[in-house]
Structure 1
Amino acid sequence: MKKFLKEIICVSLISFSLFKAEQVQSLVPYYYFPSIKNLQKESLSIGKNAYQLLYFGQYKQSLNLAKLAVRISRKDEKLWLILSEAQIANKQYKNALISLNKAQKINSKNSEIYFAKSNIYLKISQLEKAKAALETGLKIKPNNHTAIFQLGNISLMEKNYSEAIRLFDKSINIKPDFWQAINNKALAYFEKNNLNKSIKLFKKAISIQENAEPLLGLASSLRVKDIELALQLAKKALAQDPNYVSYDYRKDQLWGENLQSSTEILLKNNQLQTDVILAKSKINTSS
């Protein structure tokens, strides 16, 4: 009996000890430590959200999310690219270049890094650096029609019209319906005083995309030859995009001095004054 009681007491003590151990264990908090793979997935998801916010014009929110994404995963050049785009949208050009340099250290073979750098250099008017960045990117991805087009735009800014035309042709050969390159080729020909070629190209651009820029470009080109058609086209262009009433805005779109002079004369036509006043009022309202 004594032995039996001892056994009962022994079992009871063991059971009590186990019960106490379970109680203690239930009080210890449980922590989830995500794996590196899961963290990378999470950072990519945050990066995509940042990019979407950029698309919707929520620049500050996009920047905050992009910063968070690179904090989580600092070795993904795509995230640094997204951060640089958010920084550009917020006009933080120095910071954007720093981000792109970090992306370049991770993967120097990503052409998008150099194309993004060229975009910043263009914004801060460093044409030589923009050109060098584009050329480096094109060595990696030679058939990027947009990058070739941008090189053409730099030549247009430098008033090297023959080189600009050559580059626009190269871009159009890759993408035949690239109306922006066709339009800018027309800009170059106008400055070379080849009016017939300019008219033909503006018409071709309009046949692909009836945009305000080639519409007004064609109107200015036809000002002497066919004033009635020129006035119709100018009215349509200003109604579609009032910004083209502004000399400075057209200059930003790389319009040269010859085309600017012709356009200024056209916009002073009495039959366009109502349209010009309305376009200017719309610009003032939006700003």
Structure 2
Amino acid sequence: MNQFISRLTRPTLATLLILLGGGLAAPRVEAQALLPYTLPLDEERLTATGLSLAQEAAQLAQFQQYDEALARIQLAAQLAPQDPQILTLMGSLYLQVGDSSTAVTTLEKAKVLKADDPVIWFTLGSAYFSEAKYLQAANALEKGLSFEPSNPGAHFDLGNAYYKLNRYPKAIEHYEAAVRYDEMFWPAINNIGLVFYEMGQAESAIEQWERSLDVAQEEPEPTLAIAVANYAANMNRPAAIESATAALERDSRYANLEFLEENLWGNRLLGATEALFDTPGLQDVLSGL
């Protein structure tokens, strides 16, 4: 669903006066001189307006209108610069538009203001992960989990961070924790398979991908991964090609090796995938996609 919402325009003087909660008394002119005056700032009203803008930004973000949301949250942060929730939302929106560096800076400020908020730590972990700072990401996520240990998404993200650090047992531990708190969390099961394959344990990897298909039968990623592993092991290659074709037709993004790498397919699995994609039977499918 797309909704047209105009960007914020520069506020008029009248609007600013309303926001600031004060009026201006007309100064008495003497000898061509203008008497100075000051605007009375109503901090409580400014904060309330900032929170209202933050709510608008959150609603826009739900419709993936991130640029409009970011414009509002930036103004909200000017009106309420010490509100950690506003800074956290702003950091997450910077992440959505691909500015992970600014996201980290913003979330570090939020962390100082409210160090016991797990959401801040989880979002900061995601920002560090986007910056390929996997150790910092793991540390932030661990800190967040110390406040909210049953968050499956945070365990999944932490598993990804440990996977990128080649700490495979720790990665599996947190993927399993994600599934323990949410048994339908198939991406965590799928990524256990990715870890096993990079460890050279293809059979265990296939078991995990089949396990993830028990939860999400139509997902193309584990279907393609099983096909790649079977083809690499020279196990019923015609069936593997057929299965891979079905997965790619469901979601053509998985035909892109860069997309697979972004989804944490490791070097061993990517190499096997490239070999499968080079077969004549799949070349026609890929060209059609």
Q: 1:182 aligns with which of 189, 192, 198?
A: 189
Counterpart Cα distance in 2 of 1:171 and 1:113: 19
1:58 is displaced (CA, Å) by 2.5
State the match for 1:221 in structure 2: 229
Q: Runs of 4+ in structure 1 displaced over 4 angstroms? A: 34-41
Q: Report how far residue 95 of structure 1 moved.
A: 2.6
Secondary structure of the residue that 1:176 maps to in structure 2?
A: coil
Mapped pair 1:60 → 2:67 = yes
Residue 162 of structure 2 is aligned to residue 155 of structure 1: yes
User: 2:137 matched to which residue of 1?
Assistant: 130
Contact 2:104 2:128 in 1 (8 A): no
Alpha-carbon distance, 1:40 to partner:
4.2
* Cα displacement string for residues 178-198 of structure 1 (whole angstroms, at most 9, x for unaligned residues): 100100001111122222222
Provide the C-alpha distance between the structure 2 equivalents of 1:103 and 1:152, rounded to a whole number of angstroms.
24
Listed one character per residue, the Cα deviations across residues 87-144 of structure 1 (whole Å, up to 9, x for unaligned) are: 2223333332232123223211101111111111111111111111111111111122
1:139 aligns to what?
146
Cα distance in 2, alignment partners of residues 64 and 104 from structure 1: 22
Q: How many residues align?
A: 250
SS of 2:149's partner is coil
Q: Structure 1 CA distance, aligned partners of 2:171 and 2:139?
A: 16
Q: Which residue of 1 aligns with 2:275?
A: 265
TM-score by length of 1: 0.79
SS across alignment from 1:214: helix
> Where does residue 264 of structure 2 map in the other structure?
254
Determine the structure 2 residue equivalent to 1:193: 200
Query: When the two structures are superposed, what TM-score results if normalisation uses the length of structure 2?
Result: 0.79
Residue of 256, 264, 288 corresponding to 1:278: 288
Tell me the C-alpha RMSD between the 2 structures: 2.3
Q: Deviations over 1:167-210 (max 9, x none)?
A: 21222222221100100001111122222222221112122222
Structure (1/2) with the larger helix percentage: 1
Q: Name the structure 1 match of 2:86.
A: 79
Q: Can you give the 5+ residue segments of structure 1 that lack an aligned partner in the other structure?
A: 1-30, 280-287
Q: 2:55 is paired with a residue of what secondary structure?
A: helix
Aligned match of 2:37: none
Tell me which amino acid in the other structure corresponds to 1:101.
E
